[in-house]
Amino acid sequence: MSIQPAVDVSTSYSQPSDRKGRFFTAKRWGTPLLILVALTGLLVFLTVRGEPDKIESFALNWPYMAAKVDEHIRLSIAAALLVAAIAIPAGILVSRSKSKIVRGTIVGIGNIGQATPAVGVIILLALILGIGWSTAIIALVFYGLLPVIRNTMVGISQINPSVIESAKGMGMTGGQILRKIELPLAVPVILAGFRTTLVFSVGVATIATFINAGGLGEVLVVGLKLSREAVTLTGAVVVSCIALGMDWFAGLVEDLLKPKGV
């Protein structure tokens, strides 16, 4: 089995950023601009079409939208952070372990998590654990494990073997090699995986509404069920903007944490 960094689903996110030191790049300033244009467009559209009707105004008001955005962001960020806490150590374990069973089990869990339809996972978990926020988090974590596990493994294994050999030859212990050599050099690849997971989480968090865990999924469902396109459109645009914004922010962090000299 050859392992490659996560490039599926949301392909370009998974590649380590190639922006080196340059501050003004199209991508760094393009994304915020795009978000601004989308949100302004939405506001203009809603203003031009006039006062919302009674059903629409249930969703199309500032306090309600702010609460949903807040729930959504909390849900996705909490899930992504939990993924990092679980998947990075798991990835290290896999790259250290010579046992095929350990390797197969951990990668297998990640694969199952990602291959199972998210709606299926969340409903199954709700049946077992009951509905609510924590169940939604567990489902999101399960769903987002693979990119980070895989990128941690790849990030460590792609390090030039001669670097590891010379570290060994200089008398560094296994732990020192991991902390001072392997992890710093793997950071760009690991962060790329984390970024993928973060964007996944924002998308998948929309189904948290099915188990009463809130988020912008509620806006979408309301809009669809009651045939109010303006509501659906608002939910969709806002959720997309959050995903774009998170990806943009993670990209900045990636640039910041990338080791110098690499």
Partner 1 sequence: MSKATSGASIELTNVTKSYPNQPQSAVENFSMSINPGELIMLVGPSGCGKTTTMKMINRIIEPTSGSIKIDGEDILSLDQNILRRRIGYVIQQIGLFPHMTIAENVSVVPKLLGWDKAQIASRVEELLSLVELDPSKFANRYPKQLSGGQQQRVGVARALAADPPVMLMDEPFGATDPITREKLQDEFLRLQATIGKTIVFVTHDFDEAIKLGDRIAVLSERSQIEQFDTPANILANPASDYVSSFIGEGAALKRLALIPISSAKLSSTSATGPSVEISENLREALDHIVLNGGAPVPVTDAKGKSLGSISVKEISSALGADVSSLGIKKGK
Binding site for partner 1 (CB under 8 A): 160, 162-173, 176, 181, 184-185, 259-262
**Cβ distance to partner 1 smaller for residue 100 or 260:** 260
Nearest to 256 by CA among 187, 158, 203: 187
Shortest Å, Cβ 170 to partner 1: 5
Burial of 175 (0-12, 13-18, 19+ CB in 10 A): exposed
CB of 163 to partner 1, least distance (A): 5
What span, in angstroms and rounded, lies between the C-alpha atoms of 154 and 177? Answer: 16
DSSP state of 49: T
Contact between residue 162 and residue 236 where contact means Cβ atoms under 8 Å apart: no
User: In angstroms, what is the minimal distance from the CB of 21 to partner 1?
Assistant: 13
Nearer to partner 1, 63 or 169 (CB): 169
Tokens standing for 135? 């169940």
Residue given tokens 């960020």 in the structure block: 77
* Sole residue written with tokens 């949301």: 10
Considering beta carbons, is residue 120 or 174 the nearer one to partner 1? 174
The helix or strand, by DSSP H or E, that contains position 4, with its residue range, turns out to be none
H/E element, 14? none
What is the smallest separation between the CB atom of 22 and partner 1, expressed in angstroms? 17
What are the structure tokens assigned to 69, written together?
A: 């955005």
Looking at beta carbons only, is 181 or 238 nearer to partner 1? 181
Residue 192: CB partners within 8 Å, gap ≥ 6? 5, 6, 13, 14, 15, 16, 17, 151, 254
Distances (CA, A) of 103 to 186, 196, 202: 19, 22, 28
Nearer to partner 1, 63 or 175 (CB): 175
Of 70 and 165, nearer to partner 1 (C-beta) is 165
User: How near is the Cβ of 178 to partner 1 at its closest, in Å?
Assistant: 13
Task: Give the single-character DSSP code of 118.
Answer: H
Is the separation of the CB atoms in 160 and 182 below 8 Å?
Answer: no
- Taking the least distance from each CB to partner 1, the nearer of 81 and 159 is 159
Question: Closest distance between partner 1 and the C-beta of residue 5, in Å?
Answer: 19
**Closest distance to partner 1 from the beta carbon of 184 (Å):** 5
